[in-house]
Structure 1
Amino acid sequence: MLDDTRLAAHLAALRAAQGWTLADLADRSGLSRATLSRIENAEVSPTAAALGQLCAAFGLSMSQLLAMVESDFRPVIPLDQRASWTDPDTGFTRTVISPAAPPLRGEWLLCTLPADTTRSYDRPPRPGLEHHLLLGSGDLTVTVEGNAHALHPGDCLRYQLWGATEFHSAGGATYLLFLT
């Protein structure tokens, strides 16, 4: 599991490296200064939505951010050493199967979205981010820039991300997501 203290320190360091104040990051991310302060001081664990907003502000995918916190490049990632993170608000779980790390750009994720859960993102962490989503089980509707795609187990949805996305599951879903 991800260490909230290390994540908090890394987020504070990223902000400082940009020369941004908490107010600057609040403007760029849409999060309040108070929330940012609590996250950077490891007083709260950030939600998936908050991490998504921070990643967009820094121009990083969530896996890139989490890989920076976890460790250096390793060619083999044993099953018991995969980084996993659970959104404390929704129960959404994101496990990094293969993290982005120099020299590799692609990321492979295993995601579990609980029943009756919707996750929305206003913008991608990086314009043009390429997604390849394979639904393993359950039901999932992915709305990409206003176009809804109802997926069934085994379906693969491919797209480049320029705007808003929404993931919704009525009965719960497990899916693989490859990002590049």
Structure 2
Amino acid sequence: MRQSAEEETDARLAARLAELRAEHGWSLGELAERTGVSRSTLSRAERAEISPTAALLNRLCHVYGRTMSRLLGEVEAGAEPAPLVRAGEQPVWEDRASGFVRRSVSPPHPALRGELVEGRLAAGADLAYDRPPVPGLEQHIWVLEGALEVTAQDTAHHLAAGDCLRLRVWGPTRFRCAGEKETRYVLAVVLP
């Protein structure tokens, strides 16, 4: 039986997560302590028994010192990203549990500090990250359609179509679709 594209991506992601843990020489117990995620959840994610949520991937990215785009880029086929990536070739990842869809517009490259991501949040979606993947990460959030509420450093920012918020991420953040329709935004990420 042939796997769906989502199942293939989940399987590659699971394998990469297991590789990263092995590269660091950590047991599941050590990784659980570092992330605050249960051993069983980590184990299931590494065996592709579950599709990790954005919040779980964010915690893993934090301990591995990489952005989510970089992690997802490592999962995609091909070692070296091309200078031009056609729209149909841009990797898309979905957190089905939260209603979040993420498209890596400019796949990251280890030698570059910036990347572009398109985010889509379904009506009512609420996505919370308890820590940044990389402390001091600079983000520019430009809303293309809909309404978005971004909370950072205990301050809620209400953004409408056309608005852009710039911030450095040091602690928890929250992205919430603040309207009755899907929100679509561009996230420019710059490593410190």
Which interval holds the TM-score relative to the shorter structure? Answer: over 0.9
Q: Which runs of 5+ in 2 are unaligned?
A: none
- After superposition, give the CA deviation of every residue in 1:103-160 in whole Å (9 maximum; x if it has no partner): 3221100100111111111110111100011000111110111011100110000011
Q: Which runs of 5+ in 1 are unaligned?
A: none
The one-letter amino acid paired with 1:117 is A
SS in 1 for 2:105: strand
Please tell me whether residue 61 in structure 1 is matched to residue 67 in structure 2. Answer: yes
Please tell me whether residue 25 in structure 1 is matched to residue 31 in structure 2. Answer: yes
Aligned-residue offset at 1:59: 1.4
2: distance between equivalents of 1:8 and 1:48? 14
1:99–1:106 CA contact under 8 A, matched in 2:
no
1:73–1:102 CA contact under 8 A, matched in 2:
no
1: distance between equivalents of 2:109 and 2:75? 11
SS in 1 for 2:144: strand
The one-letter amino acid paired with 2:55 is A
Instruction: Indicate which of 150, 153, 169 corresponds to 1:145.
Output: 153
Identity of aligned residues (%): 48
2:101–2:120 CA contact under 8 A, matched in 1:
yes
Equivalent residue, structure 1, for 2:116: 108
With normalisation by structure 1, the TM-score equals: 0.96
2: distance between equivalents of 1:102 and 1:167? 27
**Number of residues of Structure 1 aligned to a counterpart in Structure 2:** 180
Please tell me whether residue 9 in structure 1 is matched to residue 15 in structure 2. Answer: yes
2: distance between equivalents of 1:131 and 1:177? 7
The one-letter amino acid paired with 1:48 is A
2:126–2:174 CA contact under 8 A, matched in 1:
yes
With normalisation by structure 2, the TM-score equals: 0.90
Equivalent residue, structure 1, for 2:129: 121
SS in 1 for 2:140: strand
2:70–2:108 CA contact under 8 A, matched in 1:
yes
Q: Which runs of structure 2 are paired with 1:11-90 in the superposition (5 Å)?
A: 11-70=17-76, 71=78, 72-90=80-98
